[in-house]
Amino acid sequence: MYTKITQSGGRRYLQLVEGFRDDAGKVRHRVVASLGRIDDLTPQKLDPLINGLNRVLGRTENTAFDIIPESAKSYGDVFTLHELWKDLGFDRALQRVLRSGRREIDAEALIRAMVFNRLCAPDSKLGCLRWLETVAMPAMPEGVTHQHLLRAMDALMDHAQVVEIELARQIRPLVDHDLAIVFYDLTTVRIHGEGEVDDDLRAFGMNKETGGIARQFVLGVVQTAEGLPLMHTVHPGNVAETKTLQAMLKTVLQRFPVQRVILVADRGLLSFENIGELTALADQDGRKLEFILAVPARRYTELVGTFHGLAFSEDGLAEARFADHRLIVAHDPDRAALQSARRRDRIGELEAMAEKMTTRLDAQDEGKTARGRRASDRGAYSRFTRAVAEAELTRFLKADYTADRFSWSLDKAAIAEAELFDGKLALLTNAPDLTPAEAVARYKSLADIERGFRVLKSDIENAPVHHRLPDRIRAHALICFLALVLYRVMRMRLKAKGHSASPRTALDLLARIQKHTTHIGPRTFTEISKTQPEQLDLFDALSLAKPA
């Protein structure tokens, strides 16, 4: 069946013609219907017929309207994060806590958008609004403004404690109740702004990123041995690290029903005074607290006698007693040789500098002149001590200020003592059933939390922070922590399935799945771009539904 245009009396007609075979088997044609004069036919008359035929075939209706496509929006990355968000139960947890008939905003959706923004295209809250215009965020309200985002952060902090308890309840099934290896470490987060407010979190302290003094707050993260973040803490920027341990442990014991906690922390957190307090805190509930803590360098002088008596095994491990606990020491001969050589080279350079200054001073005393400013013993002392301090070698090289002329001395006993500790990692633990090798392996796993901080600082870009109010700073920290949880869960699932992609690579690849919206007259059509095999593999590895 087909259409045919015929002409009669100078006019053209549109006919619907059918082909058939007669009794003799010859092909004949007959007019099924005459649709009228062509100059009288309009789209309004023909569209119902064409659309009826298209419906029979399951095709899009024909129309005379212009086809107006919108700009394509990234969809695969935010869809994946949304599915993971729901899979972890974070949507239900936040909706339960933040539900309010008086609030005109969907706080859960806005917080979710800010969390996803940290993972996909980290930016300020105003930047988050621009990013929302480029993605097809599932279940996102229309007309989001900067004030909406700030109000959502305020709502988050109005119920901060309940929110964190609810989130912990969602994470709890992933934690081993019988044995929890808990890693804890702190990092610093730079903050912009000069003003001061009540209960200000912004304080000047030594910044771990820049190595200098900066206005900042301190962020602590607790995670399991598998790399799952459990909780975070926020402290003023000048807090003493040792003072954060007790509050952190108390919260972990409250939120997670583990019976045995092995706390692994870096040397800056060790305090013999707080070890007893931490152990007593765990014993209150009949639970056992064990720890693996690195001995800080400032304690090494107390260990000289102990280290002299150590007998290392073939794998470079030794054990002794110190401060009523097990002392486990790991020795790396190659690293020790490298550290000793570097120290001796730096000392040699400073001695050469001092010898050169002495030679010049002696020449002046003999009446020999040299180009440049006249040298003096006082100037030599100043230059030498400054260079020694910058090289952090004041323990080994000392200027003799009591002498009439510039002179210095080398403390060979201090050098020998320093070389005794080169290439050695000293750990203190009260875990009775861990072998020295297991204790060292557990401690070295603490490097994973450092990688988490690098994720916070690079992929999630949690710094610098531009918020002024303490609660907004805390809300920003919680949003970044939630982003870290999603990142780490993605990492754990990809690793479990043997997939080589990192979460960052996976999100970049999934972002290529786009949502297309087209307007045809009063109707709107949405389609998703075709998924590629490598994208489908990612959904399988993440155990998440595929976009339909």
Q: Please give the model's pTM, rounded to 2 decimal places.
A: 0.74
Cα 236 to Cα 251, 268, 334, distances in angstroms: 18, 17, 40
pLDDT at 490: 94
pLDDT at position 452: 67
pLDDT tens, residue order, the chain (548 aa): 888 888 888 889 888 888 888 888 888 888 888 888 888 888 778 888 888 888 888 777 666 677 788 889 999 999 999 999 999 999 999 998 887 656 678 899 999 999 999 999 877 677 889 999 999 999 999 889 999 999 999 999 988 888 888 888 888 887 766 556 777 777 888 887 777 788 888 888 887 777 788 888 888 888 887 778 888 888 888 887 767 877 787 788 778 777 677 777 776 665 666 677 766 766 666 667 788 888 876 667 788 888 888 889 999 999 998 878 899 999 999 999 999 999 999 999 999 998 988 888 888 877 777 666 677 888 888 889 999 999 989 989 988 877 778 888 899 999 998 898 899 988 888 888 889 999 998 888 777 666 766 776 666 766 677 787 889 989 999 998 999 899 989 999 999 999 999 999 999 999 999 999 988 877 888 899 999 999 999 999 999 999 98
Q: At what angle do helices 76-87 and 533-541 cross, to 10 degrees?
A: 10
44, 62 Cβ separation under 8 angstroms:
no
Contact 518, 70 (CB under 8 A): yes
Residue 530 tokens read as 């075709």
Buried b vs exposed e over 514-547: b needs ≥16 C-beta within 10 Å?
bbbeeebeeeeeeebeebeeebeebbebbebebb
Q: What are the CA-CA distances from residue 80 to residues 143, 335, 353, 362, 511 (Å)?
A: 23, 44, 61, 75, 9
User: Which stretches of 40-159 are DSSP H helices?
Assistant: 43-57, 76-87, 90-98, 107-120, 125-132, 146-158
Cα dist. 518→64, 77, 127, 138, 416 in Å? Answer: 15, 21, 26, 18, 77
DSSP state of 300: G
Tokens standing for 386?
Answer: 């400054």
Residue 408 one-letter amino acid: W
pLDDT, residue 462, reads: 63
Beta bridge mates, 15 = 4, 34
What angle, 0 to 180 degrees and rounded to 10, lies between the N-to-C axes of helices 107-120 and 76-87? 120
Burial category of 182 from C-beta neighbours within 10 Å (exposed 0-12, middle 13-18, buried 19 and up): buried
Q: Which tokens in the block code for residue 542?
A: 């993440």
Q: What is the pLDDT of residue 10?
A: 84
Q: Which long-range contacts (CB under 8 A, 24 or more apart) does 491-499 make?
A: 491/227, 492/226, 492/227, 492/228, 493/541, 493/542, 493/543, 494/538, 494/541, 494/542, 497/540, 497/541, 499/537, 499/538, 499/541
Res 338: pLDDT: 95
Please give the pLDDT value at position 428: 86
CA angle 125, 126, 131 (to 5 degrees): 90
pLDDT for the residue numbered 543: 95
Asked if residue 331 lies in contact with residue 423, where contact means CB atoms within 8 angstroms, the answer is yes
145 three-class SS: coil
Burial 277-295, CB ≥16 within 10 A → b, else e: ebeebbeeeeeebbbbbbb
Distance CA 135, CA 77 (A): 9
At residue 80, the pLDDT reads 97
Question: CA-based angle 28:33:37, to the nearest 5?
Answer: 115
Residue 172: per-residue pLDDT: 81
Cα distance between residue 155 and residue 94, in whole Å: 11
Other Cβ atoms closer than 10 A to 21: 9
Q: What is the pLDDT of residue 284?
A: 65
**Count of residues for the chain?**
548
The amino acid occupying position 325 is: H
| Burial (Cβ within 10 Å: 0-12, 13-18, ≥19) of residue 386 | exposed
Which amino acid makes up residue 25?
G
Q: How far apart are CA 341 and CA 150, in angstroms?
A: 55
40 and 14 Cβ atoms separated by less than 8 Å: no
DSSP state of 142: S
* 8 A C-beta contact, residue 507 and residue 544: no
d(C-alpha 14, C-alpha 16), whole Å:
7
